Structures are given as C-alpha cells and as structure tokens.
Structure 1
Amino acid sequence: MNINQLLHFLVVIDECRSAADVVSELEKLVRSYGFEYYGLVRQPKPDENPMQLVLAGHWPEGWPQLYIAKKYVLIDPTIRYLGQARAGFRWRDALHAFRADPHRKRMERMLGDSMRYGLTDGYIFPVHGRAGLMGNMTVGGKPIDLSPIEVSLFDAVAKKAFWRLAEYKHGDLLAPSKPIDTRMTRREMEVLNYLADGLTSNEISRILKISNHTVDWYMNGIQDKLNAKNRQHVVALSFRLGLVT
C-alpha cells in the first residue's frame, strides 16, 4: 500500500499555486502506484468537442483518436456505469454489469482495442456536484489491485484534483457549488478547534494521541464539508458559521 502518498497528495494539493502544480503532484501519485495512464475529464455539454473535456491526462499514443473515431463513448461500460455509481470502481466490474446489454459485443471489441494499446485494466472515480455528475478521474494500464481503503482515498484524490483544476481552467464549473455541511463529529470538532487555535497537524496528533495522517484525514473531511479551498479558508468559515469562537 502507498497510503502515505495518497494522504500526502490530499494535503499538498492545497498548497499548489497553478494548474501545472496540481498536474505535477497528481502524476507523481499515479506513477507511484504503477499506473501508466490517467485522465481527469469534465462531463460533456451538448455538441462539445470531446478533446476539450480533458483537464489533465496521459494516454497511449493514438488511443484518444481511435476512441473518438469509433464513438466508443456511446457504449463504454465505465462511462455508462458512472451514471449510477456513487464511488470508484474497477473497469472490469463495469463490463460485468452489462452482461445482457445489446451492445455487449461492441463493448468487448472496445476492450480488445484498449488492451492492444496497453489499457488492460484500471479504475474510474466519479466526481459529483449539485448539478449531478460533473466529471471523472480514471487510472489504468497493467492490472493493479487496490484495497478498499485505497479506492476510497483515490475517490478523495479525484474530487480534490478535479475541483482544483476546474478552479484554474473552468471557473464556470465552480458556480453551482455544493451546499455547506456544518454537521461535525466530536473528533472533527476537536480537530477544528485546535486548528483554529493555530496548531499544526503534528501538534494536534500529539494532543489527541492519534497519528499525523489521521489528523490530516479529519482535516480533509472538514474541508470537504465546508466546501473550503484550504485550511485557512476552513478557519475563516468556522468563525463565520459559529463553529468555533
């Protein structure tokens, strides 16, 4: 497991000052897990060029052109399954969900083409907003087994990376932001109060007798609930909302 790299990404992405910085950190994480290819894309709007949907990505040479030319997006089982998925899943699991589909044969041809390009297996993670499915992140190449906790952390990575890149490249996507959730667990409130007092993750971990990574995990959960851009924004919102005094 490379859980430390996943947690590290969830922390350092808030310090990225440009889209290039976000992409650099994301590519380091993807490579550390052995995935050769990845893509972070928006959901298409009517008549939108598919190549304009890509926020970041690296694919085998020629694969995007073949995918578009054969209109695989219309039958791609991972894309079709995204509409009902609430969390990340493995590519091959999506194919199993369409065993009786009338387009099954074409799906299998697409799978054969993808394998010839080195895309043997992978995972895809949906990103949702108030307007529904906003996009997704996919990673793949040779088969790699992720544990359930790694899949959950990659889900968090996908959301963080998507919204940070959307902030830099497509500000209009940020308009329908998700509502703020002020419901905090007891532990989240403890972490939040210490954060508001100016303590670091290391200091909070020593006081609460939990690991530094666990503190960062709670902080990322708080940041997600408050729809905050970074930890400083978390503190400002917490005072404004009366969560801390």
Structure 2
Amino acid sequence: MSGGMFSYADEAFAFVENLDRLATPAAILDAMETSLSRFGFDSFIVAGLPGPGERVERVVLLKKWPAGWFEIYINRDYIRHDPIIRRCRNAVQPFEWADAPFDPKAEPRSLEVMNRATDFGMKRGFCLPIHGINGYEACISMSGTDLDLTSRTKPALHLMSMYAFERIRSHLNPAPIPGLKRLTGREREMLAWAAAGKSAADTGDIVGITERTVTAHIVSACQKLEATNKTQAVARALQYRLISI
C-alpha cells in the first residue's frame, strides 16, 4: 500500500465501517486478512494472555497462522518463553517485535521461539497490547516479511486492530460497557478529533482550548469507557456510535 497520511487514514476508516456490517467472527477474520495484507501482514492472532497453567488454545479468539505453527507453539510450550508475550504484559503502546528484547545466551528457548517463527515466514511483526481495567490482558500480534511499518501506518494499524478487538469482544460478550452514555459533548468532540488523527495540541488549536484541557477530556473519556489508552477509547466510541467518522 502506498500513498500519504490521508490514504492510511482512509484505509483505517473504511475498515471500521466495513466491520460494522459484519455479523460473525469468521467474517471479521476475513476482513482483517484482506486489510492487513495491504500493510504486508500475512499472519495474525487475537488472543488473551494466559495465566499460570492456562492453555493457550483456550484464550485464542481469532487467528490466521501458517499451517503447523500453532501446533508447534502449543506442544513446545512457547508461550512461556515468547519475548513478544513478555513485552506485551508490560507494555501499553504498540511495539515492533524487534523491540521485545531477550538475551539469546541466557534465554535459548526465547531464541528458539523467534527462530522457529522465522522458519514459518514470520520474520517481522507488530504487536498491540490490550489491558482491561478489570485486569484482563490480551494482544493482537501480526507478522510478515515485507512490512509497511512507518510513523504513518502504525496509528492506522493501531486503530484498526483495536476496533477489530472491540467487535470480536462484543460478539463474545454483548453486554454494553458501563458509562457509555455518560460522555459529555466535549469528551465526544475530543475523541472525534483524535479519531481524525489530531494530537492534543492540534485539537486545542482547532477548538480554542489548551492542550492540557484536551488531554483532561480524553483522560476522562478513557475512564468512562474503561479504556487504557486514547486509541482504545476512540475504538469503543466508534463502535457504540458515540462519535462518527
């Protein structure tokens, strides 16, 4: 996929609008496969982070992994040695796989995980940690060999992935999030500008308030939507029609 900032934003918003028309997780899986491929990704997984003794297959929501890799991953108990998972538990913002450090000499099993993933064509990747206020932990991890990962594409991928997760979550647990109807008009306005890719400083200049006030409104909206970051709040606000694009 090539083009400027607006083409990446258009791709993200088209993805969001398309997901609203899909009624099953299988359809969401197909939509994710199509859209993520435009950024060079050919494999991805949406899963909770298992607790001690919890089996990986019980927390997987959706996946498109190379044939045979999931079985190896389970049988070799790679979840306990995967540096991506370890970084995901301690990170809030998205990160590239290369930014999940480990010591190859001291952690040979971690090196084994990454080498075997490469054997299956999963050479580079991008991961989005998801942390719920109630302690729930999940991630969306995607990979490929020739990825389009730049300062322009990463925000689009973040929003797309967060929205996909919210749609999947709503299928599995359709109960609305408490507090959805308590957003103020100003909070909705700030999230709408955030959805358009505007920073707090940009939004403050547009609407004539300080950057600090914009940030305060967004923080308040995040709390009401039980979101751990701005992108998750935007995704939930879009899902429940609190803002439009």
Q: TM-score, normalised by structure 2?
A: 0.68
**Cross-structure match for 1:12:** 18
Question: Which of residues 33, 39, 44 in structure 2 aligns to 1:33?
Answer: 39
Q: CA distance change for structure 1 residues 34 and 189 in 2, over 3 Å: closer, same or farther? A: closer
**Could you tell me how far apart the structure 1 residues matched to 2:117 and 2:235 are?**
40
2:163 touches 2:235 (CA, 8 Å); kept in 1? no
2:192 touches 2:234 (CA, 8 Å); kept in 1? no
RMSD (Å), alpha carbons: 3.5
1:180 touches 1:225 (CA, 8 Å); kept in 2? no
**Could you tell me how far apart the structure 2 residues matched to 1:50 and 1:190 are?**
36
Of 162-171 and 50-59, the range deviating more from structure 2: 162-171
Q: CA distance change for structure 1 residues 223 and 124 in 2, over 3 Å: closer, same or farther? A: closer
Q: 1:77 deviation in Å?
A: 0.5
Q: Which runs of 5+ in 1 are unaligned?
A: 192-207, 209-220, 236-245
Question: Which aligned pairs between 1:92-107 and structure 2 lie closer than 5 A?
Answer: 92-94=98-100, 97-99=101-103, 102-103=106-107, 105-107=108-110
> Which structure has the greater CA radius of gyration?
1
Q: 1:226 deviation in Å?
A: 9.4
Q: CA distance change for structure 1 residues 5 and 229 in 2, over 3 Å: closer, same or farther? A: closer
**Cross-structure match for 1:239:** none
Q: CA distance change for structure 1 residues 112 and 176 in 2, over 3 Å: closer, same or farther? A: farther
**Cross-structure match for 2:76:** 70
Q: CA distance change for structure 1 residues 150 and 177 in 2, over 3 Å: closer, same or farther? A: farther
Q: 1:72 deviation in Å?
A: 1.1
Matched letter for residue 73 of structure 1: I
Q: 1:98 deviation in Å?
A: 2.5
Of 50-59 and 69-78, the range deviating more from structure 2: 50-59
**Could you tell me how far apart the structure 1 residues matched to 2:116 and 2:191 are?**
50
**Could you tell me how far apart the structure 1 residues matched to 2:48 and 2:143 are?**
18
**Cross-structure match for 1:123:** 126
Q: CA distance change for structure 1 residues 186 and 61 in 2, over 3 Å: closer, same or farther? A: closer
Q: Which runs of 5+ in 2 are unaligned?
A: 194-205, 207-229
Q: CA distance change for structure 1 residues 18 and 75 in 2, over 3 Å: closer, same or farther? A: same
**Cross-structure match for 2:233:** 224
Question: Which aligned pairs between 1:106-185 and structure 2 lie closer than 5 A?
Answer: 106-171=109-174, 182=184, 184=186
**Could you tell me how far apart the structure 1 residues matched to 2:192 and 2:160 are?**
24
**Could you tell me how far apart the structure 1 residues matched to 2:73 and 2:232 are?**
37
Question: Which of residues 222, 234, 237 in structure 1 aligns to 2:242?
Answer: 234
Q: CA distance change for structure 1 residues 170 and 50 in 2, over 3 Å: closer, same or farther? A: farther
